[in-house]
């Protein structure tokens, strides 16, 4: 059985000096999960950019939180993880107070869900939504934002209490939302007895207290805890010979209340406020109290009840569902709005000393639920939610490959690669024009058996759309409905070549179809001054997926992909009329399936060399996971190009060596692009640090005339593609507006062709950009922008 | 059952909490529009487009939250009171300039992107003086340029 991979962000725990409340829960659970052999846990703490994490070394983390030695961050160079490094079959588990984290979940969760990562959130309570008046403004804003992200994206929720689950269902009812699956895992209570601090008990305090003649209230003084009720009862309690002790820190919005305590006539006699008590003081206060009072308005769990019981002390608690859940029959309850109700509960304790002693004896036998149990139940919930093993049947065998082609020469050059490297493929169904069939039959004599389904059979009289992307999708849709396809097959093109032996596991692993993506459609820019059919198809697909609230990854990865025909047909039914829209046939299918059949699919980064064909065609926001396939471009083998000198056709003797060489050259090129991108980021940061703004281009208007503002100096690494936004003030955006730009070196030679950007023609949702495809050599030059009669120039430094 | 966009769900939850807090005699920490803008923010940059549609008071609140990472404090709110009647573009330019020139912002380092407003005072500065204040690497790059390019650069930036 495979381990469930769990990623846990503990940024708050690592920053919090005292592990109380939620951080204490996170610590107790995580320390136990690290020992669970069925889980592979990765602990994370965010980096200053708040867009990535460092991995916390488990040994250092454990040592710090069990022996208080070292640092949870460990020493040495940290491993960095970004959201898209989290595997799609993993679980991202939020057990820390994620609403306080700068990496907002409204930003993070959509990225994780795009790739099918399972998101599980621990919901401690919903009190900021149900009783927002008790919370600091910042906490309230952050919590509401976090709650909306959780309800929108979490696959599973873990609550401490049935009461919290009920509150969740009530909120979902109000929102008319389907509540996410929810598991209730009550917290543990077997805290280590060892005092966390070295303080001594406050003897002066205890000299003024008689054992079993005071009510104790422990915890931070904050409005929700309702210290006020006990405060209002001080005089009546004093008449009964009962004192009141508050122990804790002063929280938000309670300074006035603390002043009231200090001015109370009975302060220091019948009323005590011990601020920041030592653990030893708290322990002794618990043991000698008549009872612990817990008049709170609402709670997520109520650990003070457990702590009171562990000290053998009776509890008088608010009569609210969550406290009844924790306190059961062992606690006594009162109305948290009524002093009389509290006094009646106290009177009941005082009325019969024998009964009181019996109650203490019964409580001393209390054995709390253990953290081991809580952690084991939580781990089980994560395993269940994680769906590590997908539901694609284990005996699924893929033997058919399918392609649409009209180019016999390309297919005949690609077939030997498939024949040798993909031994599990037995048959190739070629969908091609009738006229191509005879030549293919005549010239191919390899292992893979060819069969044919002609365009004429496919179209059955229907007209073929002119546009390339429209034609692609149209034909594939017809193929899914009419061609003799297996239920599961590999879809490929006539120029996708394996670079090494590939097994079926490349396409089905752990019961999941592997779906290879290469971009996020939301980031797709296209070539703004010359959109291709491909660009327009990507924009349409982005809009379709967004409209249907589906993930938006781009799966046109130019490599073979696995298709389940039944699910493809289901997708076609879900988008009526899609056949004629020219959407991307890969992305619409995989994004639909990742969302609708998460148990069957895993999204992985793509595996292709030569995609994009020229590595500087676009920003490589998604890097290939490995280089396994080649998207063959003839031109790349010409002199001066990246694969110059290597064979264009299959050569058995040189295949392994040449494949390794292609991978080496492409990796080096990737590395160069990444280094260039890092240089540009550094330049932009330096520019921002000195100027307060990023080096951006701006078109504004003054007195009706355009004004172009440009960076003082533009730094662009040689051989890279850089796109910089052109920000347009709405007042300058006139119909027919065009901005042209050229780049010359210091000898006056034109470096880049003149490009024209017409903002009106830029696809909706895409910011206008200037595109700089830099030559592979260094130079210094001048960039000139023109808008009507307005010109602006900036110095350009292109460095190696 | 309903489906929501991210923004619509966040706003609906905000309204539920707003109703509750009003019933309890309190008030929300920010308006729904500010809440929406802040919820949609990325952790590493602030896009002007998120702020552009806000009215003056909301723009001020959101700019503080997003660029300085904290709510507008009472003394600052008081000092901005008289400026809230300015035309939006004027107020926005003023707010952004003030924030970006503050030491607090420089330590926060959250970049503002996509901003069509002229918020630098670069045109009044000499490029060389500015360049000296730039980090060393950038200065070296500038110094390596031929003299005619330095001149052109100065001219292009309107500083000669």
Reported confidence tier of residue A613, pLDDT bands at 50, 70, 90: confident
Q: Is the CB of residue B129 less than 8 Å away from at least one CB of chain A?
A: no
Same domain, B33 and B104: yes
Cα dihedral B46, B48, B53, B58 sign? positive
Same domain, B127 and B61: no
Q: Is the Cβ pair A712, B29 closer than 8 Å?
A: no
The architecture in CATH of the region A695-799 reads Sandwich (2.60)
Tokens of A114: 């795009």
Q: Is A729 left (phi over 0), alpha (psi -120 to 50) or beta?
A: beta
* pLDDT, position A695: 84
Q: Where are the domains of chain A?
A: 4-184, 203-364, 400-662, 695-799
Q: Is the Cβ pair B13, A725 closer than 8 Å?
A: no
Same domain, B66 and B133: no
Distance from CA of B109 to the nearest CA of A (A): 8
Q: Is residue B1 part of a domain?
A: no
Q: Indicate the residue of A130, A140, A693 with minimum beta-carbon distance to B29.
A: A140
pLDDT tens per residue, range B125-134: 333 333 334 4
pLDDT tens per residue, range A508-533: 998 999 999 999 999 898 888 788 99
Distance from CA of A667 to the nearest CA of B (A): 28
The DSSP letter of residue A221 is: B
Distance from CA of B15 to the nearest CA of A (A): 10
Which site among A104, A127, A132, A710 would you substitute to test the B interface, given the most B Cβ atoms closer than 10 Å to its Cβ? Answer: A132
Q: Is the Cβ pair A51, B43 closer than 8 Å?
A: yes
* pLDDT, position B131: 34
Q: Which fold would CATH assign to domain A400-662?
A: Spore Coat Polysaccharide Biosynthesis Protein SpsA; Chain A (3.90.550)
pLDDT tens per residue, range A483-492: 999 999 999 9
Tokens of A676: 């260039």
Q: Is the CB of residue B128 less than 8 Å away from at least one CB of chain A?
A: no
Distance from CA of A134 to the nearest CA of B (A): 9
CATH class of A203-364: alpha beta
Same domain, B28 and B66: yes
A166-171 mean pLDDT: 97
pLDDT tens per residue, range A43-68: 999 998 899 999 999 999 999 999 88
Same domain, B109 and B34: yes
Nearest to A346 by CA among A237, A431, A451: A237
A4-184 and A695-799: same fold? no
Distance from CA of B21 to the nearest CA of A (A): 5
A255-274 mean pLDDT: 92
Cα dihedral A557, A558, A562, A567 sign? positive
Beta-carbon pairs below 8 A across chains A and B: 197
Q: Is the Cβ pair B137, A177 closer than 8 Å?
A: no
Helical spans, DSSP H, in A558-654 = 565-574, 585-596
Q: Indicate the residue of A110, A692, A710 with minimum beta-carbon distance to B100.
A: A692
* pLDDT, position B156: 53
**Which residue range(s) make up the domain with B27?**
6-113
Q: Is residue B68 part of a domain?
A: yes
* pLDDT, position A526: 87
The listed CATH number (3.90.550, 1.10.10, 1.10.150, 3.40.50) that belongs to domain A4-184: 3.40.50
What is the number of domains present in chain B? 2
A308-331 mean pLDDT: 94
Residue of B nearest to A767 (CA): B114
Distance from CA of B103 to the nearest CA of A (A): 11
Answer for the pair A686, B138: CB distance below 8 angstroms, yes or no: yes
* pLDDT, position A349: 94
Q: Is residue B18 part of a domain?
A: yes
* pLDDT, position A681: 83
> Of the given ranges (A248-257, A259-268, A599-608), which has the lowest mean pLDDT?
A248-257
Tokens of A752: 């880049």
Distance from CA of A45 to the nearest CA of B (A): 15
Same domain, B77 and B126: no
* pLDDT, position A776: 83
Asked whether the predicted pLDDT for residue B135 surpasses 50, the reply is no
Residue of B nearest to A702 (CA): B118
Same domain, B56 and B74: yes
Q: What percent of chain B stands above pLDDT 70?
A: 73
Q: What is the mean pLDDT of chain B?
A: 80
Residue of B nearest to A683 (CA): B138
**SS3 string of A435-504?**
HHHHHHHHHCCCCCEEEEEEHHHHHCCCCCCCCHHHHHHHHHHHHHHHCCCCCEEEEECCCEEECCCCCH
Tokens of A299: 């709670």
Reported confidence tier of residue B160, pLDDT bands at 50, 70, 90: very low
> Of the given ranges (A84-98, A303-317, A346-360, A688-702), which has the lowest mean pLDDT?
A688-702
Same domain, B147 and B109: no
Answer for the pair A201, A313: CB distance below 8 angstroms, yes or no: no
Task: State how far the Cα of A540 lies from the Cα of A528, in Å rounded to an integer.
Answer: 15
* pLDDT, position A421: 97
Please name the helix (run of DSSP H) or strand (run of DSSP E) that holds residue A29, with its range, or none. Answer: helix A21-33
Same domain, B37 and B61: yes
Backbone angles phi, psi at A707, to 5 degrees: -125, 125
Residue of B nearest to A174 (CA): B16
Q: Indicate the residue of B71, B101, B135 with minimum beta-carbon distance to A689.
A: B135
Is residue A691 helix, strand or coil?
A: helix
Instruction: Mention every residue, 6+ apart, whose C-beta is less than 8 A from residue B75.
Output: none
Q: Is the Cβ pair B130, A780 closer than 8 Å?
A: no
Nearest to A610 by CA among A643, A639, A584, A656: A643
Cβ neighbours around B8 below 10 Å, total: 14
Which of chain A's residues have a Cβ under 8 Å away from the Cβ of B114? 696, 725, 727, 767
Answer for the pair A421, A500: CB distance below 8 angstroms, yes or no: yes
Reported confidence tier of residue B1, pLDDT bands at 50, 70, 90: confident
The alpha carbon of A323 is separated from its chain's Cα centroid by a whole number of angstroms, namely: 34
Which of chain B's residues have a Cβ under 8 Å away from the Cβ of A177? 1-2, 4, 9
The DSSP letter of residue A641 is: S
* pLDDT, position B136: 45
pLDDT tens per residue, range A181-199: 999 999 998 876 555 556 6
Q: Who wins on pLDDT, A649 or B148? A: A649
Interface pTM (ipTM) of the complex?
Answer: 0.79
pLDDT tens per residue, range A733-762: 888 899 999 999 988 899 988 999 998 889
* pLDDT, position B149: 65
Which of chain B's residues have a Cβ under 8 Å away from the Cβ of A687? 134, 138
* pLDDT, position A468: 82
């Amino acid at each position: 059985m495979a381990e469930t991979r769990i990623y846990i962000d503990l940024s708050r725990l690592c920053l919090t000096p005292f592990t109380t409340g939620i951080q204490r829960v996170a610590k107790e659970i995580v320390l136990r999960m690290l020992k669970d052999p069925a889980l592979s846990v990765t602990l994370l703490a965010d980096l200053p950019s708040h867009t990535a994490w460092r991995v916390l070394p488990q040994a250092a983390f454990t040592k710090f939180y069990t022996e208080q030695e070292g640092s949870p961050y460990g020493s040495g160079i940290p491993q960095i993880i970004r959201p898209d490094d989290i595997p799609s079959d993993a679980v991202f588990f939020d057990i820390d107070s994620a609403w306080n984290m700068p990496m907002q979940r409204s930003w993070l969760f959509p990225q994780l869900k795009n790739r099918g990562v399972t998101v599980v959130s621990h919901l401690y309570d919903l009190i900021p939504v149900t009783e927002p008046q008790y919370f600091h403004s910042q906490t309230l804003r952050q919590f509401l934002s976090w709650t909306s992200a959780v309800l929108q994206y979490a696959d599973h929720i873990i609550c401490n209490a049935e009461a919290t689950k009920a509150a969740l269902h009530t909120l979902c009812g109000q929102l008319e939302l389907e509540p996410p699956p929810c598991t209730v895992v009550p917290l543990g209570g077997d805290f280590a007895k060892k005092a966390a601090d070295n303080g001594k008990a406050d003897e002066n305090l205890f000299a003024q207290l008689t054992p079993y003649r005071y009510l104790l209230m422990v915890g931070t003084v904050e409005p929700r805890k309702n210290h006020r009720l006990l405060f209002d009862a001080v005089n009546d309690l004093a008449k009964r010979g009962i004192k009141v002790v508050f122990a804790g820190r002063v929280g938000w919005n309670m300074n006035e209340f603390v002043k009231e305590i200090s001015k109370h006539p009975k302060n220091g006699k019948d009323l005590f406020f011990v601020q920041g008590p030592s653990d030893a003081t708290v322990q002794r206060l618990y043991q000698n109290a008549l009872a612990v009072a817990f008049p709170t308005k609402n709670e997520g769990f109520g650990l003070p009840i457990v702590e009171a019981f562990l000290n053998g002390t009776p509890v008088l608690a608010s009569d609210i569902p969550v406290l009844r859940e924790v306190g059961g029959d062992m606690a006594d309850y009162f109305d948290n709005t009524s002093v009389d109700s509290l006094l009646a509960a106290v009177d009941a304790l005082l009325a019969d000393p024998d009964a009181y002693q019996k109650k203490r004896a019964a409580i001393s036998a209390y054995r709390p639920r253990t953290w081991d149990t809580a952690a084991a139940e939580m781990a089980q919930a994560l395993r269940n939610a994680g769906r590590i093993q997908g539901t694609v049947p284990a005996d699924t065998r893929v033997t058919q490959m399918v392609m649409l082609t009209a180019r016999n020469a390309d297919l005949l050059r690609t077939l030997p690669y498939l024949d040798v490297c993909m031994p599990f493929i037995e048959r190739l169904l070629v969908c091609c024009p009738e006229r191509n069939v005879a030549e293919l039959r005549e010239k191919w004599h390899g292992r893979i058996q060819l069969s044919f389904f002609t365009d004429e059979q496919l179209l059955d009289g229907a007209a073929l759309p002119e546009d390339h992307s429209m034609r692609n999708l149209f034909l594939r849709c017809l193929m899914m409905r009419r061609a003799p396809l297996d239920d599961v097959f590999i879809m490929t093109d006539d120029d996708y070549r394996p670079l090494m032996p590939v097994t079926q596991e490349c396409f089905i692993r752990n019961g999941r179809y592997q779906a290879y993506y290469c971009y996020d459609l939301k980031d797709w820019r296209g070539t703004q001054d010359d959109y291709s059919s491909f660009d327009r198809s990507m924009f349409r697909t982005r809009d379709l997926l967004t409209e249907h609230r589906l993930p938006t990854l781009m799966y046109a990865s130019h490599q073979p992909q696995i298709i389940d025909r039944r699910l493809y047909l289901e997708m076609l039914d879900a988008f009526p009329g899609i056949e004629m829209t020219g959407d991307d046939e890969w992305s619409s299918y995989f994004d639909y399936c990742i969302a609708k059949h998460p148990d069957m699919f895993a999204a992985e980064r793509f595996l292709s060399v030569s995609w994009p064909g020229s590595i500087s065609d676009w920003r490589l926001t998604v890097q290939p996971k490995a280089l396994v396939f080649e998207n063959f471009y003839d031109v790349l083998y010409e002199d001066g190009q990246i694969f110059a000198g290597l064979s264009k056709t299959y050569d058995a003797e040189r295949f392994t060596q040449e494949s390794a060489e292609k991978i080496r050259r492409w990796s080096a090129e990737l590395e160069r692009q990444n280094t260039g991108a890092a240089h540009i980021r550094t330049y932009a940061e330096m520019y921002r640090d000195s100027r307060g703004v990023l080096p951006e281009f701006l078109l504004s208007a003054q007195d009706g005339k355009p004004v172009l503002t440009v960076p003082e100096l533009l730094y662009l690494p040689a051989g890279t593609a850089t796109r910089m936004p052109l920000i347009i003030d709405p007042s300058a955006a006139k119909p027919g507006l065009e901005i042209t730009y050229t780049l010359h070196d210091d000898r006056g030679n034109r470096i880049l062709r003149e490009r024209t950007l017409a903002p009106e023609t830029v696809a909706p949702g895409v910011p206008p950009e200037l595109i700089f495809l830099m030559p592979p050599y260094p130079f210094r030059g001048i960039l000139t922008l023109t808008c009507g009669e307005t010109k602006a120039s900036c110095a350009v430094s292109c460095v190696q | 059952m309903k489906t929501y966009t991210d923004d619509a769900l966040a706003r609906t939850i905000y309204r539920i909490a707003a109703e509750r807090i009003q019933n309890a005699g309190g008030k929300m920490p920010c308006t729904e529009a500010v809440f929406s803008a802040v919820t949609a923010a990325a952790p590493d940059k602030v896009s002007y487009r998120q702020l552009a549609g806000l009215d003056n008071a909301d723009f001020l609140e959101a700019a503080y939250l997003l660029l300085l990472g904290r709510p507008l404090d009472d003394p600052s709110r008081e000092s901005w009171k008289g400026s809230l009647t300015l035309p939006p573009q004027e107020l926005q330019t003023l707010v952004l300039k003030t924030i970006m020139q503050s030491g607090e912002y420089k330590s926060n380092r959250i970049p503002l992107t996509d901003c069509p407003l002229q918020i630098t005072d670069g045109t009044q500065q000499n490029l060389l003086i500015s360049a000296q204040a730039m980090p060393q690497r950038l200065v070296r790059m500038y110094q390596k340029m031929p003299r005619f390019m330095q001149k052109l650069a100065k001219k292009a930036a309107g500083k000669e």
